[in-house]
Amino acid sequence: MLIRKFKIQESIWKDKRIPKEAKYIYSYIYVKGFERIITDINIGEIQQTIKIKNRGLQKNLEILEQYKYLIYQEYANGMYTITLN
């Protein structure tokens, strides 16, 4: 059996421009989409881990997209397609 460790980019943890909540969201997305480029996610999945509303998630995804950590697209209310950079 092959054991893999998730190694999230350390640059995101050192980046002071990104709020802590956005870092947790990025970590969740990174782990869910491990070794995949495109991930589908909905607000309900994230709400089980982080207490957040859809508008708050959009704001955090916009911040992460602005600093080029990911690209997201909302294809339905609360449903997102995310591409990790």
Span 28-74, pLDDT tens digits? 888 887 777 788 899 999 999 889 999 999 999 999 999 999 999 99
Q: Is residue 11 part of a domain?
A: no
Domain limits for position 49: 17-84
Q: What is the CATH number of the domain that holds 52?
A: 1.10.10.10
- Is 31 a domain residue? yes
**pTM given for the model:** 0.82
**Is residue 4 over pLDDT 60?**
no
Q: Tell me if 81 sits within 8 A of 75, measured CB to CB.
A: yes
Number of domains making up the chain: 1
Query: Is residue 27 one of the residues assigned to a domain?
Result: yes
Q: What is the pLDDT of residue 79?
A: 93
Pairing of strands 70-76, 38-42: unpaired
pLDDT of 1:
44
Residue 39 inside a domain? The answer is: yes
